[in-house]
Structure formats: structure tokens, C-alpha cells
Amino acid sequence: MLSKIITEENVKQAYALIEDSENVVIISHVGPDGDAVGSTLGMYHFLKGLEKQATVVLPNEFPQYLNWMPDSDTIVIAEDNLDATVQLLKHADLLIMIDFNELGRVNGLKPLIEVSNVPKILIDHHPFPADIADVVISHPELSSASELVFRLICRMGFAQKISKECAECIYTGMMTDTGGFTYNSNQSEIYVIIAELLRKGVDKDLIYKKINFSHSEDRMRLMGYCLYEKMKIYPEYRTAVIGLSEDELNRFAAQTGDTEGIVNLPFSIKGIVFSAFFREDKKRKKIKISFRSQGDFPANRVASEYFNGGGHLNAAGGDTKLSLSETLQQFVDVLPEYKELLSKVEL
């Protein structure tokens, strides 16, 4: 039995909107990860089971290692299909937004959502949700939006309706947002849910392989290059930094998703509390940043105070409009401000 963490009011409101809808568009954040794709496709399979029309729309491409997910080939990539996206939003009678807390996270979809006057449901696990939906189901204490989708479906009385495909998507999101249940994953109910997903037919060992053993040789060598040539350690700040220019990314033919996980590598080194990864993106004219931290060091505070971003305590991100070297310099310049906090973290 799971705790009823979603309020009764939220469950009723969400159920009423879903019941009244026929044509649902489900949206997640830019740079979609396993939780973004898993939670939205999980919701999509659930709605299909209710005989609703449902389409997942993502702002940009998702990584190739997720393309085995059931019906991932039906996902509409807004950046590449603007006309189709406009039509989909025009004909939708309900928008369900999952795994983000503000419209700045959906890039080109933002203006389309803003002008849409159909009901909206937000299902998210990031702190400080903006007022962007009629029903806001926000639970930052949960480690994935996919878990929240599972809980909502169950609370609406449809646990029996969860198909194997839906369960696979939800499991994938729960697994990827916890690094394969290695962080943010001490809540016992996670494993109650996993047991239920296994009963639905999920092959969790296979999903692990599909996600983790599916990369290119180039990507492996890129990781080697990052560790051997690029990683800088600042022991006095217990911090690791890796920055890659677009030329370097091109040298390793980096594809969408290939740089994911690099930011976690320095935590193999004893004592590292904070890790930052910087990636030049010339097309979008910015430096994209990923921050990860251990213990109670707030990666999201650094992201929001200096790098135009936010996120969770231990996983956050942001960007700058500066050059790569200027951005790296800015990061090194702000580290002293956090020195005391960094030194106090117990690992």
C-alpha cells in the first residue's frame, strides 16, 4: 500500500479534466531525458488505454538510447515539426505538462502553451513550480516525475489499467532519474512501486541494458578524453570541472545524449562534492551547464544564483551567453563563495 501523497483535491481535479478530454497533448522539457520521455510516454499509454487521443510533444530531440521505448516513434519533436505542433496544440482539449516547473524549460513550445486556453495539468517533481496550470501536482520529495505519474494513475483508480508498455516507460523514468537507484532512491515506496511494475511484465534487467549498454565507441572515447585530458579538480573546493567545446564534441561525433552522465564521472574520486560540466552549443549560442552535487550541497543554488538556471538540490543546470572560457572562468570565480558550504558536506 502506498502513502496517499497526492491530495484528494488534485486527484479529483485531474480525473475530471482527463475524463472530459478526448484529445490530449503531453509535453515535457527541452533536452528530454529518461524521466521526461518515460513519464510522458507512460501517461500516453495510460490515456490510450482509456481510448483517448494522446500525443507526446517534446521541444527537441531525445537521445537515441531511449528510442526502444514503446511508441517513442510517435513522439512529435516540436523543433523539427513546427506546423504539426501548432496544429496539435490547436486541436487539443487538454495539455498535460510533465517533469518541468516553468515554461522557460520548453523552449519553442512556450508561446504555444501561453496562447492555448484549454485546461492544463502540471505533474512535476522540481521545487518551486510556477503558476502555469489549472491543476498543479508538484512533489519535489519524489525522485522522478514518472513515479508521480504512476501514483496519479493509481489514485484515480486505474492501477489495473496499467499496461506492460506503460509500466516499462514509468520504470525507465524512475531508473534514469535515480542513476539506476544509486541516488535519491532511499524511499522504500519506490521499491513497492517497482514490485508492481515487475508484476506488469517489466524486464528491469533488460531496460538497464537498453539504456546503458547501447552507446557508440565514439561516446566511450569521448568519456575517456574528458577524464584524461579535460577534467580539472579543485581539491580546496572539492569540485570537479569538465568543459567541452563544439570542436571537441565534433571530433567524437557527439550525438544528442552522448554527454549525459559525464558530469557524474568525477564522483568516483573520493571527496568530490560538486561536479560541473560545460558544453558549447553554437547553434543556440550558449554554453549549457550541468551541475551535480553530493550530500546537502545545493547545486540548484549555484545554478540559480549565477547561471540562469535551477533544478534539484543534487542535480541542476543552467546556461550562459558567454564564451566557454569565460564561463569556466566565471565558475572558478564563484567557487570561493561556496567554499565553506562545500567543506562542511559529509559524505
Name the phi and psi angles at 257, rounded to 5. 90, -15
- Cβ at position 63, least distance to ligand 5GP in Å: 11
**Which of Mn ion, ligand 5GP, none interacts with 290 (beta carbon under 5 to 8 A by kind)?**
ligand 5GP
Does 165 interact with ligand 5GP (rule: CB under 6 A)? no
Among 47, 132, 190, 315, binds ligand 5GP (CB under 6 A): 315
- Report the residue closest to ligand 5GP, judged by CB: 317
Nearer to ligand 5GP, 87 or 323 (CB): 323
| Cα distance between residue 91 and residue 195, in whole Å | 38
What is the distance between the alpha carbons of residues 61 and 6, in angstroms, rounded to a whole number?
31
Residue 155 binds: one of Mn ion, ligand 5GP, none (C-beta under 5 to 8 A by kind): none
Q: Per this entry, what is the length of the chain?
A: 347
Contacts 24+ apart (CB under 8 A), 5-9: 5/139, 5/141, 5/142, 5/151, 6/137, 6/139, 6/148, 6/151, 6/152, 6/155
Backbone torsions φ then ψ of 161, nearest 5 degrees: -80, -10
Decide if residue 317 touches ligand 5GP (CB under 6 A).
yes
Question: Of Mn ion, ligand 5GP, none, which one sits near residue 310, judging by CB under 5 to 8 A according to partner kind?
Answer: ligand 5GP
Q: Is 129 in the site for ligand 5GP (CB under 6 A)?
A: no
272, amino acid identity: I
- Point out which residues pair with 244 in neighbouring strands: 279
Candidates 64, 269, 39, 311; CA nearest to 184 is: 311
Instruction: Give the 3-state secondary structure of residue 270.
Output: coil
Binder of ligand 5GP out of 126, 155, 219, 279 (CB under 6 A):
126
- Rounded Cα–Cα distance for residues 126 and 148 (Å): 12
Nearer to Mn ion, 35 or 280 (CB): 35
Which residue's CB is nearer to Mn ion, number 112 or number 142?
142
Residues forming contacts to Mn ion in the complex (CB under 5 A) are 35, 99, 145, 177
**Looking at beta carbons only, is 85 or 290 nearer to ligand 5GP?**
290
Which bin fits 94, alpha (ψ -120 to 50), beta or left (φ > 0)?
Answer: beta
Binding partner at 318 among ligand 5GP, Mn ion, none, C-beta below 5 to 8 Å by kind = ligand 5GP
Q: CA 13, 18, 21 angle in degrees (round to 5)?
A: 130
Which residues are 136's β-sheet partners? 122
Please identify, using beta-carbon distances, which residue of 107 and 116 lies nearer to ligand 5GP.
Answer: 107
Site for ligand 5GP in 284-313 (CB under 6 A): 290, 309-312
Please, are residues 286 and 278 in contact by the beta-carbon 8 Å criterion?
no
Compute the least distance from the CB of residue 165 to ligand 5GP, in Å: 24
Residues engaged in binding ligand 5GP (CB under 6 A): 31, 33, 126, 290, 309-312, 315-319
